[in-house]
């Protein structure tokens, strides 16, 4: 796989380079993401969310004393694609807007159909260029009569490797797909009717880079973070529970995307997911997108999802405020 793979003939984004949202209290956010295993750095009036050993800042969190709200996404493109993509977007009648107050002037800005700001800019590709190798405690022969399970005291803190994907609430899944696929060049991976849809990057990415789930308005459902092996999904669950974050969903395995998961509920009702072994789509593959029936679209195995898993607290907060 080349250093910067490109799908032939595709004028498209290659990465979601950053997500930005606001919360009531920054200290609370710092505690949660440190417990989750991220490299959390306080910079002035906000937090930068890194993964240990990686130079990229995947997300930023600001505090404004109000309920959590997704502010914007930054979408990365190759330098040679920025102006052609900008022209193609303008030709579709999509108008540029001013930068979000928390964002930079780099690239150009749009509003998605739900009113979420989207920054399109030249950036390094941070989606993976190849499928991650499996690592872990049990990636070796299991000889008869020899225990291979580690002692609990020998385990290390779970530290995710990178951001895998983001799931956003939307009032209209098809409308959101139209914007992110038609305007920004993401490609449909799979869907389940009008309830949920998953998109990948045209220039090689995990099975989903951005996904959209039906709700009564916009919001951030979860960010998903890649870990090295299946045991780290379970150990991540234990890590969050030990830190006092008892609520969540998992451990289980999805059908769409195939990844093993545990979702830890954050203090604002959304989630951070430990994810392992997601499907991978390279720049030469035309993925056969399917429309899954509802009973096959959620998970292959795992505990029954809690009722709170599907609540969009951002729209609930807006309704309460009015």
Band of residue 157 on the pLDDT scale cut at 50, 70, 90: very high
Residue 64 within a domain: yes
Q: Which residue has the higher pLDDT, 134 or 34?
A: 34
How far are the Cα atoms of 146, 232, 235, 237 from residue 150, in angstroms, in the given order?
Answer: 12, 13, 12, 17
In a domain, 140, yes or no: no
Backbone dihedral angles phi then psi of residue 109, each to the nearest 5 degrees: -120, 145
- Let me know if residue 119 belongs to a domain: yes
**Distance from C-alpha of 32 to C-alpha of 218, rounded to nearest angstrom:** 23
Query: How many separate domains does the chain show?
Result: 1
Per-residue confidence at 1, pLDDT binned at 50, 70, 90?
very low
pLDDT the model gives residue 266: 98
Kindly report the CATH number assigned to the domain that includes residue 105.
3.10.180.10
Does residue 150 belong to any structural domain of this protein? no
- Is 88 within the bounds of a domain? yes
pLDDT tens digits for range 118-149: 999 999 999 999 887 766 655 556 677 777 77
Higher pLDDT, 285 or 153: 285
> Looking at residue 136, what is its pLDDT?
61
* C-alpha dist (Å) from residue 251 to 94, 162, 167: 41, 20, 18
pLDDT at 2: 47
Mean of per-residue pLDDT scores for the chain: 93
Supply φ then ψ for residue 218, to 5 degrees: -80, 165
In a domain, 59, yes or no: yes
Structural domain including 97 reads 15-127+160-321
Would you say residue 133 lies in a domain? Answer: no
Does 182 reside within a domain? Answer: yes
């Amino acid at each position: 796989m080349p250093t910067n793979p490109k799908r032939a003939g595709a004028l498209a984004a290659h990465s979601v380079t950053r997500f930005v949202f606001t919360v009531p209290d920054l200290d609370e956010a710092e505690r949660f993401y440190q417990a989750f295993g991220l490299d959390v750095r306080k910079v002035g009036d906000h937090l930068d969310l890194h993964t240990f050993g990686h130079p990229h800042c995947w997300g930023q969190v600001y505090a404004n004393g109000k309920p959590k709200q997704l502010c914007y996404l930054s979408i990365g493109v190759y330098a040679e694609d920025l102006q052609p993509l900008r022209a193609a977007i303008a030709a579709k009648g999509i108008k540029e807007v001013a930068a979000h107050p928390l964002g930079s002037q780099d690239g150009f800005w749009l509003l998605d159909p739900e009113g979420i700001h989207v920054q399109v800019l030249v950036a390094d590709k941070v989606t993976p260029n190849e499928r991650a190798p499996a690592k872990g405690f049990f990636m070796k022969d299991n000889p008869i009569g020899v225990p291979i399970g580690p002692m609990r005291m020998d385990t290390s803190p779970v530290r995710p490797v990178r951001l895998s994907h983001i799931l956003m609430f939307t009032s209209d899944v098809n409308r959101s797909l139209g914007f992110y696929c038609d305007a920004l060049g993401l490609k449909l991976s799979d869907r389940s009717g009008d309830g949920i849809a998953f998109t990948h990057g045209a220039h090689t990415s995990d099975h989903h880079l951005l996904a959209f789930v039906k709700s009564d308005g916009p919001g951030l459902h979860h960010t998903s973070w890649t870990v090295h092996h299946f045991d780290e999904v379970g150990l991540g669950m234990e890590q969050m529970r030990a830190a006092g974050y008892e609520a969540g969903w998992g451990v289980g395995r999805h059908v769409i995307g195939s990844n093993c998961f545990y979702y830890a509920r954050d203090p604002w009702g959304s989630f951070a997911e430990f994810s392992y072994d997601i499907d991978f789509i390279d720049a030469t593959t035309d993925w056969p997108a399917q429309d899954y029936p509802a009973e096959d679209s959620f998970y292959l195995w795992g505990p029954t999802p809690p009722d709170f898993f599907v609540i969009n607290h951002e729209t609930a907060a807006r309704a309460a405020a009015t």
